[in-house]
Amino acid sequence: SQKIEQNSEALNIQEGKTATLTCNYTNYSPAYLQWYRQDPGRGPVFLLLIRENEKEKRKERLKVTFDTTLKQSLFHITASQPADSATYLCALDSGGSYIPTFGRGTSLIVHP
């Protein structure tokens, strides 16, 4: 069956360090993968989209990589700040439908 895996344990890091979050998937051949940020009780906010033919995408302090061989995406936040603390969701299209399916997200906590 199709599965999207994100680390359910919270990631705790010190301010200024690089946070790296992982999204693994099985039984998907996605055309794209997205990353969203979600704060408690709020809707997800789109951050970045990377397509199957792209290896890497950057936006300000954010970097996403996409390895279709490993079936994995890595999401990096450099020079992390306490304001980056949130849950980060990956989402990818499920092939037949162009609607993204979301992973359960990983909580990031940046300590001052």
Residues making contact with another protein (CB under 8 A): 4, 31-32, 34, 36, 41-46, 49, 89, 93, 97-105
Pick 13 or 48: Cβ nearer another protein: 48
Residue 45 CB, nearest approach to another protein (Å): 7
Pick 17 or 42: Cβ nearer another protein: 42
Residue 112 CB, nearest approach to another protein (Å): 25
Measured CA to CA, the distance from residue 13 to residue 15 in angstroms comes to: 7
Pick 15 or 54: Cβ nearer another protein: 54
Measured CA to CA, the distance from residue 30 to residue 71 in angstroms comes to: 9
Q: Bridge-partner residues for 21, per DSSP?
A: 75
**Could you tell me the CA-to-CA distances from 38 to 5, 69, 76, 91 in Å, in that order?**
17, 28, 16, 13
